[in-house]
Amino acid sequence: MAEVGVIRVVDIHKSFRDGKDQVLKGVSIDFPPQKLTYILGPSGTGKSVMIKHILGLLQPDSGQVIVNGKDMSTLKGKELASHRQIFGMLFQNSALFDDMTIFDNVAFPLREHTTLSEAEIKNKVESTLKTLGIQGGFDKFPNELSGGMKKRVALARAIIREPSILLYDEPTTGLDPVTRITVDDLIATLKKELQLTSIVISHDIPSALSLADQIIFLYQGKVAFKGTAAEFKKSDHPVVQQFLEAEQRTIAALTPEKALQ
Protein backbone atom coordinates (compact mmCIF):
# COMPACT_ATOMS: atom_id res chain seq x y z
CA MET A 1 0.00 0.00 0.00
CA ALA A 2 1.11 3.57 -0.66
CA GLU A 3 2.38 5.49 2.33
CA VAL A 4 -0.26 7.82 3.78
CA GLY A 5 1.06 11.35 4.26
CA VAL A 6 0.91 13.67 7.25
CA ILE A 7 -1.13 15.77 4.83
CA ARG A 8 -3.91 14.22 2.76
CA VAL A 9 -5.84 16.16 0.16
CA VAL A 10 -8.93 14.13 -0.74
CA ASP A 11 -10.97 14.97 -3.85
CA ILE A 12 -11.18 18.70 -3.18
CA HIS A 13 -13.15 21.00 -5.44
CA LYS A 14 -13.06 24.78 -5.22
CA SER A 15 -14.79 27.43 -7.29
CA PHE A 16 -15.03 31.20 -7.07
CA ARG A 17 -17.43 33.80 -8.44
CA ASP A 18 -20.55 31.72 -7.63
CA GLY A 19 -19.13 28.63 -9.28
CA LYS A 20 -18.15 30.33 -12.55
CA ASP A 21 -14.41 29.99 -11.93
CA GLN A 22 -13.52 26.36 -11.18
CA VAL A 23 -9.98 26.27 -9.81
CA LEU A 24 -9.65 22.83 -8.22
CA LYS A 25 -11.53 19.96 -9.85
CA GLY A 26 -11.13 16.88 -7.70
CA VAL A 27 -7.54 17.06 -6.49
CA SER A 28 -6.27 14.16 -4.36
CA ILE A 29 -2.68 14.01 -3.06
CA ASP A 30 -0.87 12.26 -0.22
CA PHE A 31 2.20 14.15 1.01
CA PRO A 32 4.67 11.62 2.47
CA PRO A 33 5.87 12.49 5.99
CA GLN A 34 9.37 13.96 6.27
CA LYS A 35 9.65 14.18 2.48
CA LEU A 36 9.96 17.13 0.10
CA THR A 37 7.19 17.61 -2.46
CA TYR A 38 7.35 20.13 -5.29
CA ILE A 39 4.08 21.37 -6.79
CA LEU A 40 4.60 22.52 -10.37
CA GLY A 41 2.26 23.74 -13.06
CA PRO A 42 1.29 26.76 -15.17
CA SER A 43 0.24 29.98 -13.46
CA GLY A 44 -3.42 30.03 -12.42
CA THR A 45 -3.77 26.27 -12.22
CA GLY A 46 -4.54 26.11 -8.49
CA LYS A 47 -1.20 25.68 -6.72
CA SER A 48 -1.61 28.57 -4.28
CA VAL A 49 -5.30 27.83 -3.77
CA MET A 50 -4.44 24.30 -2.68
CA ILE A 51 -1.83 25.56 -0.18
CA LYS A 52 -4.43 27.92 1.28
CA HIS A 53 -6.68 24.91 1.83
CA ILE A 54 -3.87 23.06 3.61
CA LEU A 55 -3.38 26.07 5.90
CA GLY A 56 -7.10 26.33 6.55
CA LEU A 57 -7.32 29.77 4.92
CA LEU A 58 -9.86 28.45 2.42
CA GLN A 59 -12.49 25.75 2.76
CA PRO A 60 -13.25 23.36 -0.11
CA ASP A 61 -16.65 23.27 -1.77
CA SER A 62 -16.36 19.50 -1.36
CA GLY A 63 -13.68 17.04 -0.30
CA GLN A 64 -11.31 17.02 2.67
CA VAL A 65 -7.91 18.36 3.67
CA ILE A 66 -6.60 16.28 6.55
CA VAL A 67 -3.50 17.49 8.39
CA ASN A 68 -2.12 15.34 11.21
CA GLY A 69 -5.44 13.53 11.42
CA LYS A 70 -7.64 16.65 11.56
CA ASP A 71 -9.95 17.92 8.83
CA MET A 72 -8.95 21.56 8.37
CA SER A 73 -12.44 22.56 7.23
CA THR A 74 -13.94 21.59 10.61
CA LEU A 75 -11.51 23.64 12.72
CA LYS A 76 -12.57 27.07 13.93
CA GLY A 77 -11.20 29.91 16.02
CA LYS A 78 -8.64 28.99 18.66
CA GLU A 79 -8.55 25.33 17.59
CA LEU A 80 -7.63 26.32 14.03
CA ALA A 81 -5.06 28.86 15.25
CA SER A 82 -3.50 26.25 17.53
CA HIS A 83 -3.33 23.64 14.76
CA ARG A 84 -1.68 26.11 12.38
CA GLN A 85 1.29 26.28 14.73
CA ILE A 86 2.58 23.04 13.17
CA PHE A 87 3.31 25.04 9.98
CA GLY A 88 6.31 27.12 9.03
CA MET A 89 6.04 29.33 5.95
CA LEU A 90 8.58 30.94 3.64
CA PHE A 91 6.90 33.65 1.58
CA GLN A 92 7.99 34.57 -1.93
CA ASN A 93 9.18 38.05 -0.92
CA SER A 94 10.54 36.83 2.46
CA ALA A 95 8.06 39.18 4.25
CA LEU A 96 10.57 40.43 6.81
CA PHE A 97 9.70 43.39 9.04
CA ASP A 98 11.71 46.31 7.67
CA ASP A 99 11.93 48.08 11.03
CA MET A 100 13.28 45.02 12.87
CA THR A 101 16.82 43.67 12.97
CA ILE A 102 17.71 40.17 11.85
CA PHE A 103 17.58 39.04 15.45
CA ASP A 104 14.20 40.64 16.19
CA ASN A 105 12.65 39.29 12.98
CA VAL A 106 13.57 35.74 13.94
CA ALA A 107 12.68 36.25 17.61
CA PHE A 108 9.25 37.68 16.77
CA PRO A 109 7.28 34.37 16.72
CA LEU A 110 8.85 33.32 20.02
CA ARG A 111 7.97 36.61 21.70
CA GLU A 112 4.43 36.51 20.33
CA HIS A 113 3.54 32.88 20.93
CA THR A 114 5.73 31.50 23.73
CA THR A 115 6.66 32.26 27.32
CA LEU A 116 10.39 31.80 26.81
CA SER A 117 12.69 34.18 28.64
CA GLU A 118 14.83 36.65 26.67
CA ALA A 119 17.89 34.55 27.49
CA GLU A 120 16.20 31.43 26.10
CA ILE A 121 15.06 33.35 23.03
CA LYS A 122 18.60 34.63 22.46
CA ASN A 123 20.05 31.12 22.56
CA LYS A 124 17.38 29.71 20.26
CA VAL A 125 17.59 32.53 17.70
CA GLU A 126 21.38 32.45 17.50
CA SER A 127 21.41 28.65 17.20
CA THR A 128 18.82 28.70 14.41
CA LEU A 129 20.61 31.46 12.49
CA LYS A 130 23.88 29.55 12.73
CA THR A 131 22.16 26.44 11.32
CA LEU A 132 21.41 28.54 8.23
CA GLY A 133 24.95 29.90 7.97
CA ILE A 134 24.51 33.29 9.68
CA GLN A 135 27.26 33.65 12.26
CA GLY A 136 26.93 37.33 13.18
CA GLY A 137 25.60 40.73 12.15
CA PHE A 138 22.33 40.02 13.95
CA ASP A 139 21.77 43.77 14.42
CA LYS A 140 21.47 44.45 10.68
CA PHE A 141 18.16 45.44 9.08
CA PRO A 142 16.55 43.79 6.01
CA ASN A 143 17.50 46.68 3.70
CA GLU A 144 21.16 45.94 4.47
CA LEU A 145 20.89 42.31 3.34
CA SER A 146 21.37 40.56 0.01
CA GLY A 147 18.54 38.55 -1.52
CA GLY A 148 20.11 35.28 -0.39
CA MET A 149 20.63 36.56 3.15
CA LYS A 150 17.01 37.70 3.38
CA LYS A 151 15.93 34.18 2.46
CA ARG A 152 18.15 32.76 5.20
CA VAL A 153 16.62 35.06 7.80
CA ALA A 154 13.09 34.33 6.59
CA LEU A 155 13.77 30.60 6.77
CA ALA A 156 15.17 30.98 10.29
CA ARG A 157 11.95 32.71 11.32
CA ALA A 158 9.88 29.99 9.61
CA ILE A 159 11.56 27.17 11.57
CA ILE A 160 12.22 28.92 14.89
CA ARG A 161 9.18 27.30 16.55
CA GLU A 162 10.12 23.85 15.26
CA PRO A 163 7.20 23.20 12.89
CA SER A 164 6.52 19.72 11.57
CA ILE A 165 5.44 21.04 8.15
CA LEU A 166 7.31 23.67 6.12
CA LEU A 167 5.72 25.44 3.15
CA TYR A 168 7.67 27.39 0.52
CA ASP A 169 5.89 29.85 -1.78
CA GLU A 170 7.91 30.34 -4.99
CA PRO A 171 11.21 30.50 -3.06
CA THR A 172 13.44 31.14 -6.12
CA THR A 173 11.18 33.35 -8.25
CA GLY A 174 12.87 36.58 -9.33
CA LEU A 175 16.28 35.64 -7.94
CA ASP A 176 19.57 35.77 -9.80
CA PRO A 177 21.20 32.39 -10.59
CA VAL A 178 23.70 32.56 -7.72
CA THR A 179 20.99 33.35 -5.15
CA ARG A 180 18.79 30.61 -6.59
CA ILE A 181 21.54 28.09 -5.93
CA THR A 182 21.90 29.46 -2.39
CA VAL A 183 18.18 28.97 -1.75
CA ASP A 184 18.27 25.45 -3.20
CA ASP A 185 21.17 24.66 -0.86
CA LEU A 186 19.15 25.99 2.10
CA ILE A 187 16.17 23.83 1.17
CA ALA A 188 18.46 20.81 0.88
CA THR A 189 20.06 21.61 4.25
CA LEU A 190 16.71 21.87 6.04
CA LYS A 191 15.50 18.68 4.37
CA LYS A 192 18.54 16.83 5.73
CA GLU A 193 18.85 18.50 9.14
CA LEU A 194 15.21 18.80 10.23
CA GLN A 195 13.46 16.06 8.24
CA LEU A 196 10.26 18.08 7.96
CA THR A 197 7.33 17.38 5.70
CA SER A 198 7.97 20.09 3.11
CA ILE A 199 5.93 21.47 0.20
CA VAL A 200 7.36 23.85 -2.40
CA ILE A 201 5.16 25.78 -4.84
CA SER A 202 7.39 26.56 -7.78
CA HIS A 203 8.01 26.97 -11.51
CA ASP A 204 11.66 26.03 -10.99
CA ILE A 205 12.05 22.70 -12.77
CA PRO A 206 15.83 22.26 -12.19
CA SER A 207 15.32 22.72 -8.44
CA ALA A 208 12.45 20.25 -8.41
CA LEU A 209 14.42 17.65 -10.37
CA SER A 210 17.41 17.90 -8.04
CA LEU A 211 15.64 18.18 -4.67
CA ALA A 212 12.15 16.67 -4.75
CA ASP A 213 11.19 13.31 -3.30
CA GLN A 214 7.83 13.75 -5.03
CA ILE A 215 6.68 16.02 -7.85
CA ILE A 216 3.05 17.00 -8.37
CA PHE A 217 2.09 18.74 -11.62
CA LEU A 218 -1.24 20.56 -11.60
CA TYR A 219 -2.96 21.45 -14.86
CA GLN A 220 -6.40 22.95 -15.30
CA GLY A 221 -7.30 22.23 -11.69
CA LYS A 222 -6.36 18.54 -11.74
CA VAL A 223 -3.34 16.39 -10.95
CA ALA A 224 -1.74 15.76 -14.34
CA PHE A 225 1.31 14.00 -12.89
CA LYS A 226 2.40 12.55 -9.54
CA GLY A 227 5.68 10.72 -9.05
CA THR A 228 9.45 10.95 -8.69
CA ALA A 229 11.80 13.30 -10.53
CA ALA A 230 12.97 10.45 -12.75
CA GLU A 231 9.37 9.61 -13.64
CA PHE A 232 8.61 13.28 -14.27
CA LYS A 233 11.35 13.51 -16.88
CA LYS A 234 9.82 10.52 -18.69
CA SER A 235 6.20 11.71 -18.47
CA ASP A 236 4.29 11.68 -21.74
CA HIS A 237 1.76 14.31 -20.61
CA PRO A 238 1.90 17.01 -23.32
CA VAL A 239 1.97 20.00 -20.93
CA VAL A 240 4.68 18.39 -18.79
CA GLN A 241 6.68 17.87 -21.96
CA GLN A 242 6.15 21.54 -22.90
CA PHE A 243 7.54 22.61 -19.50
CA LEU A 244 10.56 20.35 -19.83
CA GLU A 245 11.25 21.43 -23.41
CA ALA A 246 10.94 25.12 -22.46
CA GLU A 247 13.45 24.59 -19.67
CA GLN A 248 15.86 22.90 -22.07
CA ARG A 249 15.56 25.83 -24.50
CA THR A 250 16.29 28.26 -21.67
CA ILE A 251 19.40 26.32 -20.66
CA ALA A 252 20.55 26.09 -24.29
CA ALA A 253 20.13 29.86 -24.70
CA LEU A 254 22.42 30.50 -21.74
CA THR A 255 25.58 29.13 -23.31
CA PRO A 256 28.78 30.79 -22.08
CA GLU A 257 29.13 32.66 -25.37
CA LYS A 258 25.63 34.11 -25.21
CA ALA A 259 25.80 34.82 -21.49
CA LEU A 260 28.82 37.09 -22.09
CA GLN A 261 27.14 39.09 -24.85
SS3 letters for the chain? CCCCCCEEEEEEEEEECCCCEEEEEEEEEEECCCCEEEEECCCCCCHHHHHHHHCCCCCCCEEEEEECCEEHHHCCHHHHHHHHHHEEEECCCCCCCCCCCHHHHHHHHHHHHCCCCHHHHHHHHHHHHHHCCCCCCCCCCHHHCCHHHHHHHHHHHHHCCCCCEEEEECCCCCCCHHHHHHHHHHHHHHHHHHCCEEEEECCCHHHHHHHCCEEEEEECCEEEEEECHHHHHCCCCHHHHHHHHHHHHHHHHCCHHHHCC
| pLDDT above 60 (res 3) | no
Q: What is the mean pLDDT of the chain?
A: 89
Check residue 1 and give its pLDDT: 33
Residue 55, phi then psi, degrees to nearest 5: -80, -10
Domain locations in the chain as residue ranges: 7-259
pLDDT band at 251 (very low <50, low <70, confident <90, very high): low
Check residue 219 and give its pLDDT: 93
Check residue 256 and give its pLDDT: 54
Q: pLDDT tens across 171-181, in order?
A: 888 888 888 88
pLDDT band at 5 (very low <50, low <70, confident <90, very high): low
CATH class of the domain defined by 7-259: alpha beta
Mean pLDDT of 113-140: 93
Check residue 100 and give its pLDDT: 96
Q: pLDDT tens across 65-104, in order?
A: 999 999 998 888 989 988 888 999 998 788 899 999 999 9
pLDDT band at 254 (very low <50, low <70, confident <90, very high): low
pTM over 0.85: yes
